[in-house]
């Protein structure tokens, strides 16, 4: 169910409620089951706004009905992670372990070395997954590091000996 209140719109579903503020040049109108996103004054700068807000709305509707899942895989000797409460502990071959606070609204669990992140908010889960991956990106020679499940790492041949 989509509702508009002032300069914000909210989407309510079985998995929760999400809310987003609108750009001052964007207006949202409900016509029965359809939701129309319109621009008040069409200029070059505001042409992309209806499509952007329509995509945000679709993502929010999908999030409160189905939810989003991101899976991260860690490869490397001694690389591991563990979830304890709202803290994600990572051992990535550095001299110290890294601890990350799991954002509110994001759930984390482990399945056989795969970190499974779940959330209703696509932006939050994508940003958190990108932050985790940026700690140790997969390197092209041995493939060690953190990558998304299904991500293909292009491998390089390495040094040749004479």
**7-11, 32-36, 89-93, 141-145: least confident range:** 32-36
Residue range 19-65, pLDDT digits in tens: 989 888 888 888 877 888 888 888 888 888 888 888 998 999 899 99
C-alpha 80/C-alpha 146 separation (Å) is: 10
Q: What is the pLDDT of residue 158?
A: 82
* 117 within 8 A of 129, measured Cβ to Cβ: yes
pTM: 0.87
Residue 120 CA, distance from chain mean position: 10
What residues contact 127, with CB distance under 8 A and at least 6 apart? none
Q: Which of 145, 141, 154, 72 is nearest to 110 (CA)?
A: 72
What structural domains does the chain harbor? 2-65 (3.90.930.12), 68-148 (3.90.930.12)
Q: Is the separation of the CB atoms in 15 and 25 below 8 Å?
A: no
């Amino acid at each position: 169910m989509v509702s508009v209140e002032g300069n914000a719109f909210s989407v309510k579903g079985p998995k929760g409620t999400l809310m987003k503020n609108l750009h001052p040049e964007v207006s949202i109108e409900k016509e029965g089951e359809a939701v129309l996103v319109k621009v008040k004054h069409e200029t070059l700068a505001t042409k992309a706004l209806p499509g952007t807000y329509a995509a945000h709305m679709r993502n929010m509707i999908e999030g409160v009905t189905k939810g989003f899942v991101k899976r991260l895989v860690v490869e490397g000797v001694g690389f591991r992670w563990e979830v304890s409460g709202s803290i994600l502990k990572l051992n990535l071959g550095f001299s110290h372990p890294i601890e990350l606070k799991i954002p509110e609204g994001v759930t984390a669990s482990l399945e056989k070395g795969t970190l499974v992140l779940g959330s209703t908010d696509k932006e939050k889960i994508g940003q958190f997954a990108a932050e985790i991956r940026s700690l140790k990106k997969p390197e092209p020679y041995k493939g060690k590091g953190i990558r998304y499940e299904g991500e293909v790492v292009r491998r390089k041949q390495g040094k040749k000996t004479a």
